[in-house]
Amino acid sequence: MQYEIKGEPLPVVICQLESGESLNCESGAMSWMTPNMEMKTSGGGVGKMFGKMLSGENLFQNTYTCKGGQGLIAFASSFPGSIRALEITPSNPVVVQKSGYLASEPGVELSVFFQKKAMGGLFGGEGFIMQKLSGNGMAFVEFDGSIVEYDLDAGESLQVDTGHVAMMDASCTLDVKAVKGVKNMLLGGEGLFNTVVTGPGRVWLQTMPVVNFVGLISTMLPSK
């Protein structure tokens, strides 16, 4: 498989497949393709479908297989931002925000990731359940806005405003930290809690979470 990412800030990943090669994606993710791409829809079993429902994913997944020569298939981002290609290996799984997954090779396993610390899930803004990409193969994920990456040593932390954590190595952990001071909580405009990401591992932070964008737009709409 060969691929090209183009078109930021409204990006698309265009994949060139050889005959017999396949890509998985969530239902509705395909943007355009050549006629020789054959689609097969599956749910992955009751257990996996229940996990997908909890994590906010689509219940069904599509597999596109190239038939009779080279083929092309494209997956566009659902929001202005970035698309990144990741080489997933058994020793390097990653955890992605809900709705961040675009597509992957068949060797990549998409599963539900539960926060080990309940407080981090309930108040951290990234949700109690995220998506985990493991296995072996190429995966494509989308982020909101631009991406800034940090490599954290063991025990090293970053305190992040709600919603800006887009992805992290599975070796990292998420927790929350309350904003100090009642006046800061009520008047500081940063909410009651911040997310704390602790290494070891890499963390990907996004500059414009969808929820922040929606909140900004809502302040500009006329009230009834």
Amino acid identity of residue 85, one-letter, is A
3-class state of residue 211 by DSSP: helix
- The Cα–Cα gap between 126 and 79 comes to 17
What was the pLDDT predicted at 174? 86
Sketch out the chain's domains with CATH numbers: 2-220 (3.60.160.10)
Buried b (16+ CB within 10 A) or exposed e, 190-211: eeebbbbbbbebbbbbbebbbe
Amino acid identity of residue 209, one-letter, is P
Does this model's pTM top 0.75? Answer: yes
What was the pLDDT predicted at 48? 55
Residues belonging to the chain: 224
Per-residue pLDDT of the chain (224 residues; tens, 9 = 90+): 999 999 988 999 999 999 999 999 988 899 999 999 999 998 755 455 555 555 555 667 899 999 999 999 999 998 899 999 999 999 999 999 888 999 999 999 998 887 655 444 444 445 557 899 999 999 999 999 999 999 999 999 999 987 899 999 999 998 887 766 544 444 444 556 778 999 999 999 999 887 666 666 777 777 66
What was the pLDDT predicted at 32? 98
Nearest to 105 by CA among 123, 121, 91, 86: 86
DSSP 118: H
Amino acid identity of residue 91, one-letter, is S
What was the pLDDT predicted at 188? 43
Number of C-beta neighbours around residue 37 at 10 A: 19
